[in-house]
Amino acid sequence: QGSRSVWEYAYELTYKLDTIGLNDARERVYRLWHGFEPHIQEWLWRDRLDPEVDLWDDIIQSAEAAEHA
């Protein structure tokens, strides 16, 4: 993620994953989650989200909340 916002990171990641043809939803979520800054990952866990079961949109929503907290 680096210095990018959650939205910017998700947008760029989506573009890259689409470019390489990675369509598996679970793998996309895994890459999204593990690319976030550690403090956002901690927030997601505290929000009771799990990269193994939760959806992309739910994770983005929580990550954006973490970013603005």
- Give per-residue pLDDT as tens, 34-57: 999 999 999 999 999 999 999 999
Reference 40, options 14, 11, 27, 2; nearest CA is: 2
- In sequence order, what are the residues at sequence separation of 6 or more whose Cβ sits closer than 8 angstroms to the Cβ of residue 8? none
Mean pLDDT score of the chain, rounded to an integer? 97
User: Which residue ranges make up each domain of the chain?
Assistant: 6-68
Under DSSP, the state recorded for 69 is: -
Q: What per-residue confidence (pLDDT) applies to 20?
A: 98
| Cα separation, 45 vs 61, whole angstroms | 13
Q: Are 5 and 67 spatial neighbours (Cβ–Cβ below 8 Å)?
A: yes
Quote the pTM value: 0.91
Q: What per-residue confidence (pLDDT) applies to 26?
A: 97
